[in-house]
Amino acid sequence: MKILFSIQLGAILILLTITSNLLAEDTLITDNSSALIFSEKPRNLQFFARDNYDSSEVKYSGILYLPGYDSVFVEVYRNNTLWKRNSHALNYEQGEASFYLNPKIHSELSEFKFKLYFKAGSSSALAAIADSVVCGDAYIIAGQSNSQPTDYLATYTNEYCRSFGVQTATYNSANYNPADTNWGLSKADGAVIYWAGPYNVGVWGLYLQKQIVENTGIPTCIINGGRGSSTIEMNLRNNFNQTDLTTTYGRLLYRVLKAGLADKIKGIFWYQGESNGGATWVNYRNNFRILYNSWKENYPNFKRIFAFQLRPCCSEQYASQLREVQRNLPNEYNDVEIFSTAGIPGYQGCHYSFNGYLEIAKMIYKPFAKIFYSVSDTVNIYPPEIRAAYYTSPEKNEIALLFNRSKISRWPSDTLGESMKNYFYLNGYTGYILSGNVSGDTVKLKLIAPLNATRITYLPTVWTHIDSVVYEGPFMKNGRGIGALSFHDFPISDYSPVQLSLKAAVDGYYNPVTTRLNLKDTLRVYLRTNQYPFSIVDSAKAEIDSVSLTGKFSFYNTPPGTYYIVVKGRNSLETWSADGGEYLSPGATIEYDFTKKISKAYGNNLIQRGSKFCIYSADVNQDGVVDLDDNLNTLNDANMFMLGYVNTDLNGDYVVDLEDLSISFYSISFIVEVARPY
pLDDT in tens, 415-442: 989 999 999 999 999 999 999 999 998 9
Q: Which of 126-130, 192-196, 313-317, 581-585 has the weakest average pLDDT?
A: 192-196
Instruction: Give the rounded percent of residues in the chain with a pLDDT score beyond 70.
Output: 95
Per-residue confidence band for 325, with pLDDT thresholds at 50, 70 and 90: very high
- One-character DSSP codes across 258-289: HTT-GGGEEEEEEE--GGGSSGGGGGHHHHHH
- Strand 561-568 versus strand 575-576 pairing type: antiparallel
Q: Whole-model pTM? A: 0.81
Preceding peptide of 474 cis, ω within 30°: yes
Residue 34 has a pLDDT of 78
Least reliable range by pLDDT among 34-48, 443-457, 591-605, 623-637: 623-637
Rounded Cα distance, 660 and 663, in Å: 5
CB 316 within 8 A of CB 278: yes
Position 210 scores a pLDDT of 98
Is 651 a residue whose pLDDT tops 90?
A: no
Residue range 463-484, pLDDT digits in tens: 998 877 899 999 999 999 999 9
* pLDDT for residue 25: 41
What's the pLDDT at 655?
A: 83
Which has the minimum average pLDDT: 210-219, 474-483, 621-630? 621-630
Confidence at residue 220, expressed as pLDDT on a 0 to 100 scale: 98
Would you say 409 and 468 are in contact if contact means Cβ atoms under 8 Å apart? Answer: no
Q: How many residues does the chain have?
A: 678
pLDDT tens digits, residue range 544-575? 999 999 999 989 888 899 999 999 998 999 99
Q: In this model, does residue 246 exceed pLDDT 80?
A: yes
Per-residue pLDDT at 12 exceeds 60? no
Say whether pLDDT at 606 is over 90: yes
Mean pLDDT score across all residues of the chain? 91
The Cα–Cα gap between 504 and 549 comes to 6
Burial (Cβ within 10 Å: 0-12, 13-18, ≥19) of residue 109: middle
Report whether pLDDT(500) > 60. yes
Q: What does the pLDDT read at residue 30?
A: 56
Q: Provide CB contacts within 8 A for 185, sequence distance 6+.
A: 45, 157, 158, 159, 161, 162, 163, 199
Q: What is the pLDDT of residue 316?
A: 85
**Between 6 and 313, where is the model more confident?**
313
Amino acid 613 reads F
Q: What is the pLDDT of residue 26?
A: 47
More confident residue, 27 or 161: 161
Alpha-carbon span 339 to 654, nearest angstrom = 24
From the CB of residue 178, how many other CB atoms can be counted at a distance below 10 Å?
A: 13
pLDDT band at 191 (very low <50, low <70, confident <90, very high): low
Specify the amino acid at residue 205. G
**Residue 149 CA neighbour count, 13 Å, CB half:** 21
pLDDT digits over 357-404, tens only?
A: 999 999 999 999 999 998 888 999 999 999 889 999 889 999 999 998
pLDDT at 3: 38
* DSSP run (H or E) holding 183: strand 183-185
Is the confidence at residue 7, as pLDDT, over 50?
Answer: no
What share of the chain has pLDDT > 90, as a percent?
75
Q: How far is residue 510's CA from residue 520's CA, in Å, rounded to a whole number? A: 11
Q: Look up residue 221 and give its DSSP letter.
A: E
Phi, psi (rounded to 5 degrees) for 161: -115, 110
| End-to-end alpha carbon distance in the chain | 102
